[in-house]
Structure 1
């Protein structure tokens, strides 16, 4: 007999006792009834609890998506309370226990969520010191906290756990509570290894895909043959030979099967005879950009308007124009979306990898016609996200099936579900224009962005849409206008976003949404202008940048990458290497990133290999340099994949890039080296690092291709089929 064991099975066999304890404890916590506690972001007890042993529990509405943010949040709280990190535990994204700190997105987990925790911890520290001063009958100024113990100059000391009573932390967050001076930091700013990695390496970590409940059933959803197709009929007898079938569930066009085992559910979903109506409402993909340009504009957003750009361009003797496009992308989560839902006494609990559990709670409540109080969403880390992928949709699937059968149901999406039905990064089109005067100066800049309408809102749940149930969503996510406006100073500038009535596939956020596409066009066009003026791309940017930190960052990038002494390519060779520069001040208000890409191009085949990225990064105060480097490296690797390889394909009915063969991603041998210069500013506010480095990747690669070959590539992805014609 052949025994097949996967990596997890081997690791579990080596540490079964430890694993059982770890998973069992996590499951017990998740199943337990939520204690009655405040979840107010204005109250200290909303964020923190301290037990008699001095152990600190942090309740974070921001969640760790594999980014390592829990390690950084632990550092922040441990530093502010002066307790060892080993005494701090974090509960994430449980709507019954944690404050609503907003969606975990936009690189705001530290900048906003972490600072809320810092203020709560500072408030708790002050309250405990006041209590200690009263107990010891000493002045507050004579006390300090070290390793979780309050010490007085007299030599007396009290562990903080002994200062905690039932209402000790039942206080408002005090915005005036003094925070620990940076000069006294011993934890924040120091490299700390990710706390989650050991368990992930040896198989003890409980991912959402590993989570189980007693008596849990398994569900799968049968998707329509076209995005807008209607369910005509199905033959339940076609799966009668499959053991353990519990029920076929139909709600409108939502069709699912529930079985006692996952394999039976998978087989049933594949085998069930179903008839769908014909639907062919998608445009011809070969004419996608014509379709985008012809879509009705519902309104314009003017992001910047300085001087009179249109008349200034008209008056210039030299005019430049270029159009850039960025393909539809799927999230491509390697671990498929998964959720478990359970109904009991008219209430639902959903275990989910959603990065927006409080929003998901509202959507599930609306879909199921329950009050928000009857829905609890508990975060369990999934295998990556970086935007609104399919986690929320898997949760809706599980909730609908669990309600139908009255037992807990687990739904794990298949690869075709993930690629075919998760919401997409919308197609993005940008027209750029510039005018150069007789003195060889750039005097006017214009850009026009074509992007779907919408604001910061919720993405429709697939299950709710198919079932015809209530949903709180609108057309499009927001944030996609950021970084259309430029950080450079020119006399006349106008940047306009044309908001479109519709878009071919359901849109969503994907890592650095909008910022990535807009920076691609801006920084590529800056290079085109510099080339027209025979200016060095670095010097051209420095000449038009009125920002001290931005200039310092670019100078450090130049040193890091040896920019001014880089070798000039021989454009006649078959294989050439070029260097390309890009810069961003994220959303024009926070994290600065500069990048130089070193790229090798085969002029015969059009194949591109990104060999190295140099990154200068300034996000203010750095909490964990090790974690920040992890994030920057992840940004580069993922975005190189998107720029070189990724593009959703579709016919008139549905997405056709349903697997890794038709939607390829970067492989390990193709991963570039990443060289990083972290600029730490400990006395400045901390900003985010999970997204900004993505924004500079496309333009840096495009500009490197130009330096090496003299050819401009303006359409992502830069596949050989696009690059080779451009080279000739």
Structure 2
């Protein structure tokens, strides 16, 4: 995992390289932007998204190096990207390697989020590779004096289709680079000719991970590195009034106590010395109690100022139709504040040298982080380099960017490379949070029980994406990018069903209790949860089978197919919910859910089978069935990995996870106060994939998580006859609901 070293001499000694780059971001100003090359150890490698040299290099050894702005967060993206490139270049997979997320070497393809790594990043690399292959065939034709259409590429060689000697890629590019713009119309391979794409390929990263050879960010070291710990305020908005540096004067190896505004840290030669100094350092802080009372969170959300309304669908006249309905249903659903809870707390290393800043980070948005570090330190972005190193726990915008900000500030203060390792309390207490979501819904049913009107209102924060101010910059009073992108957390508030009168509105709240940021399937999960659970309420009120009720209102053939196939997979028995017999110590039920992700890609349907202990309220999910259609599948093994991870992680969130806090700070600072699912409760996940090789590839990293909360809620109702509308469905909540029923 050490960062590659490049020099002009080394590059030329390898016989030159063909470097091809491409971006499909041909919309708006980005397509016109010119990005300067970044100096890197003696030569400048282009990273512009529309330049030939940005994405791909073929060396004299016949190997291809792919430069991907998207990174592997443990999701198998590296393997999928390698498959795509190898397929398009007609190379064996073992002759393709991937460099990820190094801002000096890779183009800015946007943060790794939204299930876009293959759909966007992979497609860009595919097009670049297709253009490179076409140019290689053209060069070979010129060399051999034959038309290009009489040649074929295979195994890194271009040869005549009729047989005979060929020319290797290395020979074709040994005179240097091809200064070439990628043609967006370059023909990619026909799916019928695929030999790698669509085939299960073992993850490239797994062997080293299971044998302990893999270097995570938490394991990474650089020469001359020292260690630091940040001393956090006891309350989020507390001010630092005084520091007693004498209280740590006797700690061996202490280098410096760093104070800048409300930012306080210790730097030491050894990590243990930094830990002890942070524990002993005496500091006085002001009081602060700016958080709402937790037991009044939803009143706080309702009272929060609305900055704007996003009307996400408006068909017919929902209000008028509600007034004419035979039956009107109303319900409110809420989804708790969640932390990322990364198993490995966040970590980063930063080094200031000769006016340049280098940061080794597990950030999923290295190019955006580069801009944040530049703003914080006053440097130009061109002299800031962020190098991606995979983190042990890095899904979503957790604390890795903030650890990078800590390290950058401290390296500047002591003039040496500084490693900052967050503690468990740092991670749980200071990472950005999945914000609270509150949804109010109404439905009007006609005399036959069909939905004649649907109206929903979502209370969600205006800022919910990844451009979150860095904690270090905020505490130190340093410049930072303050604008919070609203993000796409409005997605899936609109519904996929063909009801005649529908109005869905997202009220964007001006503030939220904690810094909001991505956690897997942000917005889409919470919105789908409310919609699909409330739709089940409508089915129950109509006395209808929940599957049939969906199929009646769904006009999308691909959506119908995933629902029908999951019903077959789970051996669904048509009947209304709940079950007729709810006696016994253990209650059993099943629930169904469906999503068309963002209403334009990846279809998922799922069925949860659950067990509820009547005496304790404890919920178990022995089996979860999933059918997914994400278009063209690159690596079915990788897609199954993602579905397994989605179901297991989201099950934990739905049954157990909730941030607790007092008026000043987070109080769920360890695994005892923020429990997660453990191995004995991991369900059997039964998956069926629909592969469409001739279609575009869509995302697989998030969509299947969106169906889990509603499937569990629906199964709970089926088992107990009680509707739970507040995530998480803890034993205490379930038991109380059962006793009240």
TM-score tier (shorter): over 0.9
Q: Match of 2:630?
A: 619
Match of residue 290 from structure 1:
299
1:577, 1:708 within 8 Å by CA — same for their partners in 2?
yes
Give the corresponding residue for 1:516: 525
| Cα shift at 1:280 | 0.5
Question: How do residues 410-489 of structure 1 correspond to structure 2 at under 5 angstroms?
Answer: 410-454=419-463, 458-475=467-484, 477-489=486-498
Question: Aligned-pair RMSD on alpha carbons?
Answer: 1.6
Change (3 A) 1:308 1:219: same
Distance (whole Å) between structure 2 residues aligned to residue 297 and residue 121 of structure 1: 47
Contact 2:5 2:41 in 1 (8 A): no
Within-5 A mapping of 1:44-123 = 44-123=52-131
Match 1:124 to one of 129, 132, 135: 132
* Structure 2 spans left out of the alignment, 5+ residues: 8-38
Corresponding position of 2:674: 663
Deviation at 1:317, TM superposition (A): 3.0
Segments of 5+ residues of structure 1 without an aligned counterpart are 1-22
Structure 2 vs 1, CA of residues 138 and 154 (structure 1 numbering), >3 Å: closer, same or farther? farther
Deviations 1:558-586 (A, max 9, x none): 11010126995631112011110000000
Provide Cα deviations, 1:404-463, integer angstroms capped at 9, x if missing partner: 000000001000100000000000000010011234332000110001113756101000
Q: Distance in 1 between matches of 2:367 and 2:530?
A: 35
Task: Give the whole-Å Cα distance in 1 for the aligned partners of 2:318 and 2:233.
Answer: 49
Question: Which SS does the other structure have where 1:460 is aligned?
Answer: coil
Does the Cα contact within 8 Å between 2:449 and 2:541 map onto a contact in 1? Answer: no
1:555-614 Cα deviation digits (max 9, x unpaired): 111110101269956311120111100000000000000000000001121110011100
Q: Shift of residue 169 of structure 1?
A: 3.4
CA, structure 1 residues 290+45, in 2 after alignment: closer, same or farther (shift >3 Å)? same
Contact residue 423 and residue 507 of structure 1 kept, 8 A: yes
1:306-336 residue CA offsets vs partner (Å, 9 max, x unmatched): 0110111122231100100000000000001
Equivalent-residue separation in structure 2 for 1:665 and 1:558 (angstroms): 29
Mapping 1:65-464, distance limit 5 Å: 65-152=73-160, 153-165=162-174, 167-454=176-463, 458-464=467-473
- SS in structure 1 opposite 2:647? helix
Contact 2:140 2:172 in 1 (8 A): yes
| CA displacement at 1:178 relative to structure 2 | 1.1
User: What is the match of residue 25 of structure 2?
Assistant: none
- Equivalents in 2 of 1:164, 1:497: separation in Å? 54
Per the alignment, do residues 329 and 633 of structure 1 end up closer, same or farther by CA in structure 2, a change over 3 Å counting? same
Q: Name the CA distance, whole Å, in 1 between partners of 2:149 and 2:175.
A: 25
Q: What is the alpha-carbon distance in structure 1 between the residues aligned to residue 716 and residue 358 of structure 2? A: 51
Which whole-Å CA distance do the structure 1 matches of 2:561 and 2:522 have between them?
Answer: 27
Sort the Cα spacing of 1:166 and 1:427 in 2 relative to 1 into closer, same or farther, 3 A: farther
Q: Name the residue aligned to 2:716.
A: 705
Task: Give distance in 1, aligned partners of 2:705 and 2:465.
Answer: 21
> How far does the alpha carbon of each residue in 1:669-688 deviate from its partner, in whole angstroms, 9 at most, with x for none?
01000000000000000001
SS of structure 2 residue aligned to 1:385 = coil
What is residue 616 of structure 2 aligned with on the other side?
605
Cα distance, 1:475 vs structure 2: 4.3
Q: Is 1:44–1:123's contact at 8 Å kept on the other side of the alignment?
A: no
C-alpha displacement of 1:88 = 0.5
Q: 1:632 to 1:169 in 2, by over 3 A?
A: farther
| CA distance in structure 1 between the aligned counterparts of 2:186 and 2:217, rounded to whole angstroms | 38
> Which deviates the most, 596-605 or 157-166?
157-166
The Cα shift of 1:34 comes to: 7.1
Deviates more, 1:224-233 or 1:167-176: 167-176
Question: SS of the residue aligned with 2:44?
Answer: coil
Cα distance in 2 for partners of 1:720, 1:392 equals: 35
Return the offset for 1:501.
1.6
Partner of 1:593: 604
Offset, 1:211: 0.7
Aligned residues: 705
Distance of aligned partners of 1:287 and 1:544 in 2 relative to their CA distance in 1, 3 Å threshold: same
Match of 1:12 in 2: none
The Cα shift of 1:148 comes to 1.0
Q: 1:690 to 1:359 in 2, by over 3 A?
A: same
The answer on 1:537 being equivalent to 2:546 is yes
The alpha carbon displacement at 1:160 in A equals 1.0
Alignment of 1:536-575 (within 5 A): 536-564=545-573, 570-575=581-586
Could you say which residue in structure 2 is the equivalent of 1:678?
Answer: 689
Matched, 1:639 2:650: yes
Deviation at 1:553, TM superposition (A): 1.0
Matches within 5 A, 1:573-588: 573-588=584-599
Judge which range, 589-598 or 174-183, deviates more: 174-183
